[in-house]
Chain A
Amino acid sequence: MCRANIVMPVLPQMGFSVLTDSTTQDAARHKGVGASTRRHEDDRYLRGRGRFVGDIRRAGMLDMAFVRSPLAHASIRSITKPDANSLRSVEGVYVAADLTGVTGIVANSALPGFQASVQPILADSKVRHVGEPIVACLAQTRAAAEDLAEAVQVDLDEIAAVVEMTTALDPEMPLLHDHWVQNAFLETRTDINFENAIAGAAAVVKKSYRTARQCMAPIEGRGCVAEWDRHLEQLTIHSATQMPHIVRSGLAECLGLDHAQVRIIAPDVGGGFGYKGILLAEEVCAGFLAMKLDRPIRWLEDRREHLTGGANCREHTYEITGYAAADGEILAVDCDALVDSGAYSSYPFSACLEAAQVTSILPGPYRMRGFRCKATAVATNKPPILPFRGVARTGVCFAMELVMDALAGELGMSPEAIRERNLVPATDMPFTNITNKFFDSGDYPQALSKTVEAIDVAAVRARQKLATGRKRIGLGFAIFCEQGAHGTSVYHGWGIPMVPGFEQATARLTPDGWLEVRVGVHSHGQGLETTLAQIANEELGVDPEKVRVVHGDTAYTPYSTGTWGSRCAVMAGGAVGTASAEVGDRVRAIAAHLLQARAEDIVLADGAAYAGTAKVSLEEVARTWYRQPQLLPASVDPHGLEATVGYRTTPDTGTFSYACHAVVVEVDMDLGQVDLLDYVIVEDAGVMINPMIVDGQVLGGVVQGIGTALFEEMPFDGSGQPLASTLADYHLPVAADIPPIRIIHMETPSPLSRYGQKGIGESGAIGPPAAIANAVNDALRDIGAEVTEVPMTPERVLKVIARAEAKSREAVS
């Protein structure tokens, strides 16, 4: 990897045995927005001192294991609990009927036509996907709990499974939920000037595309430790979650507790990607049993549970038609999309988020005259859908960008020319697109032209001409924009039951002059303990080393919908900035008094308040407020050095980061192998708070996107059995799969956010399937082969090659 256009200042770090020798005074001074500082959270991780859920033990704790459904669709005939005397360490076996007063998980979409589901905590009469929990087993060790689960007998009557979303809506298919009229949570439609727009189209391409069902596969699985506090009458659950406050709300609802009786602590969390953005039936069950038994209960998901019961994202189909004028102008796009939403509507995002998104985000970064789209959230006997990094955008970008290349092919244009013709130009920014998306800022054509230059299109084309044997070279592009940190108006429109409002943060100068920052979002790899400290530095001049970022505990932090939707840098960053600025005003007032200056003349920098050259340190200011108030005038602001503020952007339509990906591939026509030879990303995250961390987010996302493109798939057989139950079957990208990746940054400030920053966390995972598929199709164009499905496994690539070659043999004969 190499980085372009960015300066990487290197800062000294106290307490480390190794100091870098490239420290410069400038770099040391600049610790705020824009500095690639080392991360505060790294030290504990590097020493193996992180605290993950699996590291937590409690006296008297019981481990919980589940008997899970071995069938995709069945009625439960009977459950036989084992003879407790025959097993060691047995503490209890619980079925649905034992969960007195517990209600199932409900997440209703507000969109008209939504069909509701209730996800039982333990399946009662019916199971609806392989891996669904039926029986909870408690024992003194996890191994003993699993032994106990093995001994439970569950007798099931199998029902025909609804496995394939393309046939799930057929009237003869069994219904997943008895009261439904068809196997769909929701159908959404939009039609904007479609019929008028297609008149006179010079090129029309009609395509079918498909993306496979995936597992998100954070290396740490889910898990929780639940305990009941008799003194506080409070249920405390340590949970590997991205959104502790939302889990708290959901648990309170399911268990019939007051919010104040539930405390959720998300400790260190080993990756999320959306997989941990949910209320779990297992958490509800652990919470109930901890209260019932007055003993701590722990559940830790194992990899088999994850793979078989947690394959829950990305499965879409698109029947899509693109219409273009002779000069390449996109006239309209027409699309019928299906999203496999699985068996239940998950809390809090509902089963409909992705399908509802498709109808509004499909046009991507392009202008067009007409747009028509239908998207259906189909119910199947598979695990309930969760939004994986990029959410619907990865599939949508795949469909749209492949149609762009297909139209270019029809019109004899280059991929870059047709994109340039249709991208929203910088002069039109801010721009409201056909589906009413408000693009806040940016220069999309420049991102494209920088990509074309960096990948060196002319050189690739020359190289391609030389590769005429069984190994072909191809070049592919994908360009997209990502709405991030969008708020109330957008999510209300998508109908999800959890609509985000103001994001709150608390900033508190402590008596020793340190700053404590409390946020309701959670950091599990994003580096928020560092970037939020940088933001506090920007406002208060406080040394980021003296900022403690507190997150992950509902008892300590203000309410938040949590970490998702590329929202933390903008929303939590904005909230921390605003709260710090408020504290800054109060610091100035006190410092002004101490320095006998005017508050408006006070400058906060380098850990002190300055009036000209006179200064008073933040420590002295804090000490004065907390311990020597006799030094302050009677008129001092009584709110002190602590502020909790709510923040949102105005408008709350979200920041739009964008990126152009280009990839060069070599396709081995005999093996079906796709090798990535070069990969360039030009991306614009607005003003970067910490460029090093932005690089990490982009690179990590891209590699997940490469997984989507080439490797990752959870296949199901005709009865709904998941067929990849180990990581040997479910291939995640490894280091050897990844080419050198070059990132080029543009930094167009967002006019909406406090520092001009844009949400970028999910961006990397959006582009790779489209870019790589376009590159493979470019490589195979002269033989007439075309991939339309990801992952592009050797088997799939060989199949399209064989089909094309058979066709050409037929034509010859």
Chain B
Amino acid sequence: MKCQLRVNGEDHTIDVEPRTTLLDALRDNLKLTGTHVGCEHGICGACTVLADGEPVRSCLMLAAQADAGPEITTIEGLSTAPGELSIIQDAFCEAHGLQCGYCTPGMIITASALLERNATPNRDDIVDAISANLCRCTGYGQIVEAIELAAEKLRQRNASPSEASQ
């Protein structure tokens, strides 16, 4: 079947079997392999993408459900410019919030959704937001620190946008 997907601001028409998950469509049809396959049953969060700004499990959603539907954002859509890191991505590097990098796209997508709706999350808010994303390497502490750091930097940027753009 044909599906119209809007991903990272671009429109795509793909031809897939009806049973194709959004995850497989993103990876196999659109070659957006930054969204990772973890458990394929909705627990680990490695495949998290944004659908109209809300984090969803792309392994639990069919491509057909995104047909002419929500605007999908993947990790590839978060970078501010080619070769650059967003503030959240940079904070993950700074705080060592990643090791093998496999859960990382899902974590960053989840973190960006949190910081979009809550500019001043406390530690509990952050823990709550990422507790549906599994990481087997970091033990989470440094991920929480990374999101705290990102929140702080986003607040600074928003307080003085001209400086941040330099």
Contacts and interface: CB of A to CB of B under 8 A. Distances in A.
A220 B36 contact: yes
Interface string A697-714: 001111110000000000
B58 interface: no
Interface string A124-160: 0000000000000000000100000000000000000
A49 interface: yes
A47 B89 contact: yes
Contacts of A303: 38-41, 44
Contacts of B94: 10, 20, 38
Interface in B127-166: 127-128, 130-145, 153
B10 interface: no
Contacts of B38: 219-220, 303
B90 A16 contact: yes
A45 B104 contact: yes
Contacts of A703: 138-140
Q: Is the interface of B mostly helix, strand, loop or mixed?
A: loop
B99 A525 contact: yes
B75 A48 contact: yes
B136 A726 contact: no
A220 B102 contact: yes
A749 interface: no
Given A47-B79, A732-B134, A54 B33 contact: yes
Nearest to B143: A735
Contact of A524 (B43, B100, B141, B144): B100
The interface centre, meaning the residue of B19, B92, B103 with most chain A CB atoms within 10 A of its CB, is B103
Given A1-B145, A219-B44, A303-B38, A270 B140 contact: no
A47 B85 contact: yes
Nearest to A142: B24
B101 A268 contact: yes
Interface in B64-102: 74-76, 79-81, 83-87, 89-94, 96, 98-102
Interface in A267-319: 268-273, 300, 302-303
Given A271-B137, A273-B136, A303-B39, A52 B93 contact: no
A738 B141 contact: yes
B55 interface: no
B96 to A, nearest CB: 5
B127 A736 contact: yes
B137 A13 contact: no
Nearest to A144: B17
A92 interface: no
Interface residues of A, number: 64
B34 A48 contact: yes
B41 A699 contact: no
Nearest to A275: B136
Interface string A667-709: 0000000000000000000000000110110011111100000
A50 B101 contact: yes
A727 B86 contact: no
B37 interface: yes
Given A16-B85, A46-B92, A219-B36, A269 B100 contact: yes
A177 interface: no
B50 interface: no
Interface in A712-760: 726-728, 732-736, 738, 740-741
B136 A271 contact: yes
A642 interface: no
A700 B99 contact: yes
Given A269-B100, A693-B96, A48 B35 contact: yes
Contacts of A728: 41, 43
B37 A47 contact: no
Contacts of A39: 93, 96
Contact of B139 (A43, A47, A272, A701): A701
Interface residues of B, number: 65
Contacts of B142: 1, 695-696, 699
A809 B17 CA distance: 65
Contacts of A46: 85, 89-90, 92-93, 98, 101, 104, 108
A702 B108 contact: no
B163 to A, nearest CB: 10
Contact of B131 (A219, A735, A741): A735
Contact of A702 (B90, B133, B139): B139
The interface centre, meaning the residue of A41, A42, A46, A728 with most chain B CB atoms within 10 A of its CB, is A46
A462 interface: no
Contact of A699 (B28, B134, B141, B153): B141
Contact of B84 (A17, A524, A738, A764): A17
A44 interface: yes
A501 interface: no
A726 B43 contact: yes
A735 B96 contact: no
Contact of B137 (A16, A41, A57, A700): A700
A272 B100 CA distance: 9
B46 interface: yes
B100 A218 contact: yes
Q: Is the interface of A mostly helix, strand, loop or mixed?
A: loop
Contacts of B136: 217-219, 271, 273, 700, 704, 732
A18 interface: yes
Interface string A199-242: 00000000000000000011110000000000000000000000
Contact of A42 (B20, B32, B98): B98
A47 to B, nearest CB: 6
A41 B101 contact: yes
B140 A735 contact: yes
Contact of A696 (B19, B43, B74, B138): B138
A54 B43 contact: no
A270 B141 contact: no
Contacts of B76: 47-48
A302 B40 contact: yes
Given A39-B96, A696-B96, A738 B39 contact: no
A703 B140 CA distance: 8
A272 B98 CA distance: 14
A269 B102 CA distance: 8
B122 to A, nearest CB: 13
A218 B75 CA distance: 21
Contacts of A45: 98, 100-101, 104
Contacts of B32: 48
Given A271-B100, A524-B100, A699 B36 contact: no
Interface string B11-48: 00000010110000001100011111111110110100
A405 to B, nearest CB: 25
A733 to B, nearest CB: 8
Contacts of B91: 18
A269 B96 CA distance: 18
A510 interface: no
A695 to B, nearest CB: 7
Nearest to A10: B94
Interface in A21-58: 38-39, 41-50, 52, 54-55, 57
Contact of A52 (B84, B102, B143): B102
B36 A270 contact: yes
Given A38-B93, A48-B76, 9 more contacts: A17-B85, A46-B89, A47-B85, A50-B102, A143-B17, A217-B136, A268-B101, A700-B139, A727-B43
15 contacts: A1-B142, A16-B85, A18-B91, A38-B93, A45-B100, A46-B92, A55-B27, A303-B38, A693-B96, A696-B137, A701-B139, A727-B44, A728-B41, A734-B133, A740-B141
Interface of A: 1, 10, 13, 15-18, 20, 38-39, 41-50, 52, 54-55, 57, 143, 217-220, 268-273, 300, 302-303, 524-527, 692-693, 695-696, 699-704, 726-728, 732-736, 738, 740-741, 764
In the complex, the 4 A-B pairs of residues with the closest C-beta atoms, listed nearest first: A48-B34, A45-B101, A270-B102, A703-B139
Interface of B: 17, 19-20, 27-28, 32-41, 43-44, 46, 74-76, 79-81, 83-87, 89-94, 96, 98-105, 108, 126-128, 130-145, 153
